[in-house]
Structure 1
Amino acid sequence: MESSSAPRVGATLGLCLLSACVAPSDDAGLAATDSAAEAASHDEPAFEVWAVDQSDTSGLSYGGTVYIYSGSSLMGKTGVGPVPAEVIDLGAQTSALCLEQTGERPVRPHMIFFNAEHTHAVLSFVASGHVAIFDAAARAPVACLRTSAGVDGARQAHAAVPAPDGSYILVANQNGKRLERIATDYAAGTFAWEPAATLDLATCVTPSGDPCQFPQIRPDNAPICPIIDATGAHSFITLRGGGLLVVDAAATPMQIVGEYDAATVHGNGCGGVEAGGSMFINSGGATPANLDQFDVYRFPLTGYGPENPANTPAPEVVFADGSPDRDAHGTALVKGHAVWVLDRNQGVAEVFDVATSAHVNTVDLKGTYSSDPAPDLMDVSPSGHRIFVTLRGPTPLSGDPHASMGSTPGVGVIHVTQGGRSGKLKAIVPITNLDAGGVERADPHGIRVRRL
C-alpha cells in the first residue's frame, strides 16, 4: 500500500474559497429546486474524488501522483476550510510493480476510470503505454500491463476504459494506432492482454472496403477516447485526425460496425456521455494540425452494422464552432438532462439540453480566483449537486499549450444551479509540484468520482 496522508514535496492541499454562490436563475421553480437540493446536500451518498497529476514524482523522471479527497469535504455551500487528501505516489509502489511486470517504469499518468462496482481504478500512462489497475479501497496497485508497439515502434495508453460488464478494459494505444483489449476478472484479480482482439487502425480495412486510415477519409487514426455505451454493444472511437469508428469491442478480433469520415466528424474528440437514448460526443482542437475546434455530435445507440454505407446512421450536429481559441474537451451528464462540455481555451462550459439538443447556457469559469482555469476533465457527485473539474497548470505535459496552459492547477468545485443548466466555480483545491528551480510542474488531468 502506497497511500499516505502527507503531501509529496511541494504539494499544497488547502482549499481556496470563492465567494458564496448565488443561483442565477430566471425560473422560480428551478431556483426552488436548487434550494431544496442544497438543503439535502448533507444527505449526499458517500463518495470520494480521485484526481491525477501528470507531472513526475519530485526528483524523478517518472511516476506522478493521485490525490484522493473525501466527497463530504468538497460539498459545503461556501467551502469547508483546508481539504486533506490521501496521496498515492506513483513513483513508488506503482512504478516498482510496472518495472517488475513490464520491464519499464510508467510515465505520465493521464486518465482514470473505475469499474462498474467501483472496486478498482484503471489508470493509463500516456507517455509510456502502461495501464495500472488498483484495488481502490486499499489504494494499492494489483497489476500493470503495457501496450504493444505499433506504428514506427510507438506505443501509448491515452485512455483505458472498463467495460460495463467488467469483462475487459478497452485501451486506446494512441501513437501505436491500435485499439487493444485487456481481459479482466476483478474478483479473481486476473488481468491479461488479448492480442487476438487487437484492431490495427493504421492498416485495417472498413466494412465498406475503404482503408481505415487514408488521406481525405481518416488521415490520422490515432485513437483518442473509447466511449462504451451502457450495454457494451457499441464503442465509439474518436480519432486524432478526424472521422470516427464504432466498434464491437467484445468480438475477437474487434469488429468495425460503423465508419465516419473526417468531413462528417471532426478530429481530436475526447469527451462522450450517454444520455436520452443517444451518445453525445465532442471534437476538439489543441493539436498542431487543428488548434481550434468545438463540435458536439449526437449519435444514435442502434442502427449500426457492417452492411451500412459510410456515415450511417448519420449523427446530429448539436453544436459547431471552428472559430479561433476554442477547444472542446471533457463531457458530463448533469442531473440527467443537461450535457456539459468544457472548453480548455475559453475557460467555459457549454451546456446542452438532452431532450431537445438545444444549447441552453455558457457557464464562465473564469473570475477573481482564476483568470485562466483551463478546465480539462470533469465528473459529477452522485446527486448532481457538484461538478469536480481538473484545472491545468502553467507547464502542460499533454495537449498543445495553446489550449492546455492554465494558471491555477488543481481541482475546481462547481456548485450546480438551475436544475443542471448552470453553475458557479465556488472553490479550487490547489495542486502544486515545484521543481528544484521553483517552476510549477503540476498538471492535473484525469478525474473521477468513486461511489462508496
Structure 2
Amino acid sequence: MQTNSTRRRFIAGSTTAGIVAVAGCLSETDGDETDDATGDDDANGDDAEETDDATELEDVDYEVWALDQGTDTIHVYEPGEGETEFDRVECLDLHDVGVDIAADADIVPHMIDFSSDYEYAAVACTAGRRVLVFRTEDYELVGDVETGPGSHMAIFSPDDEYIHVDVIDEEAVARVDADLENESFEEVDRLELAEDETVQEAGIESASPICHQFDGQGRSIHTLGPSYHDAGVVIVDHEAFEVERAYSGDELPANCGTMPHFEDGKFYLTAGLPSDPEEGEDGVGEYYVYDVEADEIVVDGESTRGVDAHGFWFTPDGEELWVLNRETNDGVVVDPETDEVVEEIDAYGPAQSDDPAERDAPDIMWTSPDGEYMFVTLRGPAPLSGDPHAATGVTPGFSVLDIESREIVDVVEPDPIDDYDDDEVQAAQEGEADAPAIPDFHGLGVRVLGDADGEIPNSPPF
C-alpha cells in the first residue's frame, strides 16, 4: 500500500503515557485504522488536554518501523496530529508478502537497517535463516536471501554495495551483494570466524557474531555472544573481507551493541549479562569505548547503572549517547565528549517494578530525525530471544520518550496484550506446540522521508 506521509506537529511537554493500540493487521485501511484504537481512554484524554498549551516545533517527515518477532509482523507508523500521536500506515504480515519459506515456518524478524538514502530496508530473520529486503516507498519485498540459522543483524555497507549479516549459529559473517539499481541480492562471500587463524590466536573458542557497525577506517567491528560468557570482538577489513584483529572476552567482553562515534575515531560497545537469582549472581551492565585509530580500549567497562546493558543510540545533535539496560528497564546518558555518564534514565517502559515479572524489558532504540523523541522497543511476556529472566516484559510495542525531559510520553501497542488471555500467554511461555503467537517487539528503525536538520545523520555509520 502506498501512503502519503503526514506532516508531524511535534508536541513537547506532555508526560502522560497514553497507549495507542491497534490489534494485529485487522484494521488496515487507508492508514486511518487508529480511529478505532483501544487502550486507556482517560490517559489519552489527559494527553489531549495537556497538549493544548504545548510548543509547536519544526515539521519533519519520518516513519517508525517496528518489528514484532513474536507474530512475524512489521508495523509502520508515522506521526499523527491531534489526540492520536502516531498513525499506523502499513502492516506487513511476513507470511503474506512472498517470503520463500514454508507457510507454517517461523520467520522472526529481529533487526532492521536502511540503505543510506532510506529507500531500502534490510531485515534479518533469525528463525527464518534469511535476510529480507523491502523497497520502502511501497513496502514491497524485493529481496529474499537465505543466509543461515540465527541471521541476527543485517546492515548495509557505507556505500550500499553489500549487506553484511551476522549469522550466529554458523559462527559466520555473510556478505550479500546488493544491486539496488536492479533490485538483485545474492550471497557472494562468507567469513567462517571459528576457522579464522586470527580469531583462534586470540583465544576465542566460540565466535558467534551478534552485531556490527562500520568504524570509519574501512572496517566493521563485530561483537560476539550471545552470552556474556561468549563475548569478544572481531574487526573485519571491509575491502579485503578478512579478519584484521580479534579480542577475546577476557580483553573486551562486549556481546551486544555496536555504535561508531559520529565524528571522532571512537567506537562504543555494550556488555550485558542477566542476573541469576537462583544462583545468587549479579548481572552485568557496562559499556566500552574503543579508539579505532590507535586500536586500543580507552574506556574499559564503565557501568550503565543497571543490569543487562543492551541497545543504545546517539541523539541527532551528537551531544548524547543513550544506553539502556534490558533487565532493569533503566539506563544512562553518556556525554560522547568525555565518555562519562552524565544522567540516568529511570524507565524506558511504563511498567517499572522491583519484581522482574512486573516490569517492562526495553531492547532497541532509535531517535526521531529532529531529536525530539527516542523510540524504544518493549518485549512481550513470552520473548522469543534473550534470557527469559531479563527479556520478559509486560507491554509489547514501543515507547516514545521525550529526549529533553527523559519522560515517556506515549506507548504504542500495535497488538494489545490484553487481547490474549492468561492461558494463551502461559502456553507460549512454556513452549506448548499449540500455543498462539504472542507479540514480542525487538527491532526498530526510523526511516527519514525528507531532509533532516540534525548535526549528524539519523543512523550510523554517519
- Shared fold (TM-score, shorter chain, > 0.5): yes
The 3 A distance-change label for structure 1 pair 81 and 160 is closer
Residue equivalent to 2:25? 8
Residue equivalent to 2:309? 328
Cα deviations by residue, 1:367-404 (Å, 9 ceiling, x for unpaired): 86655221100100011110111011100000011110
Residue equivalent to 2:332? 350
Equivalent pair of 1:2/1:92 in contact (CA under 8 Å): no
Given candidates 193, 216, 232, the residue that maps to 1:243 is: 232
Equivalent pair of 2:80/2:87 in contact (CA under 8 Å): no
Deviation of the 1:80 alpha carbon: 3.1
Q: CA RMSD in A?
A: 3.2
Residue equivalent to 1:99? 101
Deviation of the 1:14 alpha carbon: 5.0
Deviation of the 1:106 alpha carbon: 5.7
Residue equivalent to 1:202? 194
Equivalent pair of 1:111/1:124 in contact (CA under 8 Å): yes
Residue equivalent to 2:63? 48
SS of the residue corresponding to residue 84 of structure 1 reads strand
Equivalent pair of 1:248/1:257 in contact (CA under 8 Å): yes
Matched, 1:302 2:288: no
TM-score (norm 2): 0.76
Residue equivalent to 1:338? 320
Cα deviations by residue, 1:278-308 (Å, 9 ceiling, x for unpaired): 11111112499998221111112324xxxxx
Residue equivalent to 2:140? 140
Deviation of the 1:2 alpha carbon: 10
Deviation of the 1:104 alpha carbon: 9.9
Given candidates 350, 365, 387, the residue that maps to 2:347 is: 365
Trace 1:115-126 onto structure 2 (pairs within 5 A).
115-126=115-126
Trace 1:181-220 onto structure 2 (pairs within 5 A).
181-195=175-189, 198-206=190-198, 211=200, 217-220=203-206
Residue equivalent to 1:228? 214
- What amino acid sits opposite 2:134 in the alignment? F
Which whole-Å CA distance do the structure 2 matches of 1:104 and 1:221 have between them?
31
Which stretch shifts more, 162-171 or 104-113? 104-113
Given candidates 441, 445, 456, the residue that maps to 1:448 is: 445
Which whole-Å CA distance do the structure 2 matches of 1:392 and 1:330 have between them?
13
Given candidates 407, 421, 426, the residue that maps to 2:409 is: 426
Residue equivalent to 1:67? 75
Deviation of the 1:161 alpha carbon: 0.8
Q: Which has the higher contact order (CA 8 A, sep 6+)?
A: 1
Given candidates 403, 406, 424, the residue that maps to 2:390 is: 403
Which whole-Å CA distance do the structure 2 matches of 1:273 and 1:428 have between them?
28
Deviation of the 1:233 alpha carbon: 0.9
Specify every segment of 5 or more residues in structure 2 that has no aligned partner in the other structure, as ranges.
Answer: 4-21, 29-33, 49-53, 354-358, 426-436, 450-462
Specify every segment of 5 or more residues in structure 1 that has no aligned partner in the other structure, as ranges.
Answer: 22-37, 57-63, 149-154, 304-311
- What amino acid sits opposite 1:211 in the alignment? Q
The 3 A distance-change label for structure 1 pair 390 and 446 is same
Deviation of the 1:255 alpha carbon: 1.6
Matched, 1:377 2:364: yes
SS of the residue corresponding to residue 170 of structure 2 reads coil
Kindly tell me the number of residue pairs found equivalent between the two proteins.
388
TM-score (norm 1): 0.77
Equivalent pair of 2:288/2:297 in contact (CA under 8 Å): no
